Structure 1
Amino acid sequence: MVIVTAAATAAMAGATVLSGTTLALVFSTICLIAVVISMTHQHPHHRHHHHHRRLPNFPGGPHRVPLLGNIPILASTDTPYVTCTELAKKHGEIYSLKLGDEWFLVLNSTETIREAFLDFSEEFAGRPSLYSTETLTDNYKDISFSDYSPEWVHHRKFFSSSLRSFTGGNRLEAIAHERLGELEKYLDARIGQEVYATAVIDIAILGILTHISFGYENDDIHEQMMRLIPGDVAMLVIGKRMAVDVFAFMKHVSRKEKKFIKAVSAQFNGLINAEVQRHKETFDPMNIRDMIDELIKSQKEAKDSGESDLDFFSDSHMAQTIANVLVGGGIGTSHSSYWAMACMVENPHLQEKVADVVEGAVGHHRMPSLSDRSALKYVEAVAMEALRFASAAPIGVPRKATCDVNFRGYKIPVGTPVLYNMYAVHFDEKNFEEPYKFKPERFIKEDGNIKHSQSFMPFGIGHRQCLGKTQGETIMYLVYAWLFQRYIFTKVPENEHQSLLVQNPEIQAARSPKPFKVIVHKRY
Structure 2
Amino acid sequence: MSSMSSATLLYCFCGALLVLMLVKCMLGQRRGVVSVPCLPYLPVVGSLLHLRSSLPPHLLFTQLAGRYGSLFGLYMGPHYTLVVSEVSLVREVLLQRGREFAGRPKMVTTDLLTQGGKDIAFADYSLLWKNHRRLVQSSFTLLVFNSSYQPNDPELLKVLDYNDGIVQTIVRGGLVDIFPWLKVTLTPGEPRDLLDALLIGKMKGSGGDDDITDDHVLMTAAEAFGAGVETTSTTLLWAIAFLLHHPQVQERVQAELDEVLGRDRPPALSDRSSLPFLESVICEVMRIRPVSPILIPHVAMQDTSLGGHSVPKGTRVLVNMWAIHHDPKHWEEADTFRPERFLDSSGKRVTPASFLPFGAGPRVCVGESLARLELFLFVSRLLQKFNFSVPSGRSLPDLQGRYGVVLQPHHYTVRVTPRY
Q: Same fold (TM over 0.5)?
A: yes
1:396 aligns with 2:287: no
Q: Give the 3 Å change call, closer, same or farther, for CA 276–78 of structure 1 in structure 2.
A: farther
Answer with 1 or 2: which has the greater Rg.
Answer: 2
CA distance in 1, matches of 2:346, 2:208: 51
The alpha carbon displacement at 1:311 in A equals: 4.1
Scaled by the length of structure 2, the TM-score of the pair is: 0.85
SS in 1 for 2:174: helix
Write the distance in 2 (CA, Å) between the matches of 1:161 and 1:75: 43
Confirm or deny: 8 A CA contact 1:78 1:508 kept in the other structure.
Answer: no
| Residue 31 (structure 2) aligns with | 55
Q: What TM-score does the superposition give when structure 1 sets the normalisation length?
A: 0.69
Is the 2:43–2:78 contact (alpha carbons within 8 Å) kept by the matching residues of 1?
Answer: no
Provide the residue aligned with 1:126 in structure 2. Answer: 103
The partner residue of 2:133 within 156, 160, 172 is 156
Match for 1:380 among 252, 268, 279? 279
The residue that corresponds to 1:274 in the other structure is 177
Matches for 1:85-484 after TM superposition, within 5 Å: 85-169=62-146, 170=148, 174=153, 208-211=161-164, 220-221=168-169, 224=171, 271-284=174-187, 289-300=192-203, 302=204, 309=208, 311-484=210-383
- Name the structure 1 match of 2:11: none
| Alignment-mate amino acid for residue 311 of structure 2 | I
List gaps (5 residues or longer) in structure 2.
Answer: 1-21
Residues 285 and 156 from structure 1, CA distance in 2 versus in 1: closer, same or farther, beyond 3 angstroms?
Answer: closer
| Aligned-residue offset at 1:404 | 1.5
Distance in 2, matches of 1:147 and 1:396, equals 15
Tell me if the contact between 2:127 and 2:210 (Cα under 8 Å) persists in the aligned partners. no
CA contact (8 A) 2:32 2:312 kept: no
Q: Match of 2:123, as an amino acid?
A: S
CA distance in 2, matches of 1:375, 1:61: 48
Cα distance change, pair 517–442 in 1 and its aligned pair in 2 (3 A): same
Q: What SS does the corresponding residue of 1:495 show, helix, strand or coil?
A: coil
Contact 2:40 2:50 in 1 (8 A): no
Partner residue in 1 for 2:401: 503
Evaluate the alpha carbon distance shift between residue 295 and residue 56 of structure 1 in structure 2; reply closer, same or farther with a 3 A threshold: closer
Q: Quick one: distance in 2 between partners of 1:86 and 1:406? A: 24
Shift of 1:104: 0.9
**What CA distance in whole angstroms lies between the structure 2 residues aligned with 1:135 and 1:68?**
23
Are the aligned partners of 1:79 and 1:508 in contact in 2 as well (CA < 8 Å)?
A: no
Residue 95 of structure 1: how far off its partner (Å): 0.8
Query: Is residue 2:418 matched to residue 1:519?
Result: no
Counterpart residue number, 2:6: none
User: Match for residue 74 of structure 1?
Assistant: 51
Question: Bigger CA drift: 470-479 or 288-297?
Answer: 288-297
| CA contact 2:183–2:199 (8 Å) conserved in 1 | yes
Indicate conservation of the 8 Å contact 2:83/2:320, yes or no: yes
Q: Name 2:7's counterpart in structure 1.
A: none
User: Structure 2 counterpart of 1:72, which letter?
Assistant: L
Q: What is the DSSP-based 3-state SS (H/G/I as helix, E as strand, rest coil) of the residue aligned with 1:312?
A: coil
Quick one: distance in 2 between partners of 1:86 and 1:172?
A: 48
Residues 338 and 49 (structure 1), Cα distance of their counterparts in 2 relative to 1, 3 Å cut: farther
- Structure whose residues are more often helix by fraction: 1
Task: Give the CA deviation at 1:362.
Answer: 0.4
Query: What is the CA-CA distance between 1:284 and the residue it aligns to?
Result: 4.3
381-390 or 56-65: which moved more? Answer: 56-65
Q: What are the superposed Cα offsets for residues 75-124 of structure 1, whole Å, 9 maximum, x if unpaired?
A: 32241211211211221111101232222111110000111222211110
Q: Distance in 1 between matches of 2:66 and 2:240?
A: 32
Following the alignment from structure 1 to structure 2, what is the Cα–Cα distance between the partners of residues 160 and 499? Answer: 36
Unaligned stretches of 5+ in structure 1?
1-46, 180-204, 226-269
Shift of 1:72: 3.0
3-state SS, counterpart of residue 521 of structure 1: strand
Query: How far, CA to CA, are the matches of 1:357 and 1:467 in structure 2?
Result: 31
Distance apart, 1:446 and its partner CA: 1.8
Q: 1:61 to 1:146 in 2, by over 3 A?
A: same
CA contact (8 A) 2:37 2:69 kept: no
The one-letter code sitting in structure 2 at the alignment partner of 1:353 is R
Q: Distance in 1 between matches of 2:24 and 2:200?
A: 42
Residue of structure 1 equivalent to 2:10:
none
What's the CA shift for 1:486? 0.7
Please provide the CA RMSD for this pair. Answer: 2.8
The farther-off stretch of 427-436 and 156-165 is 156-165
Give me the whole-angstrom Cα distance separating, in 2, the residues matched to 1:393 and 1:55: 31
Shift of 1:289: 4.2
Q: How many residues align?
A: 395
Greater mean deviation of Cα atoms: 88-97 or 129-138: 129-138
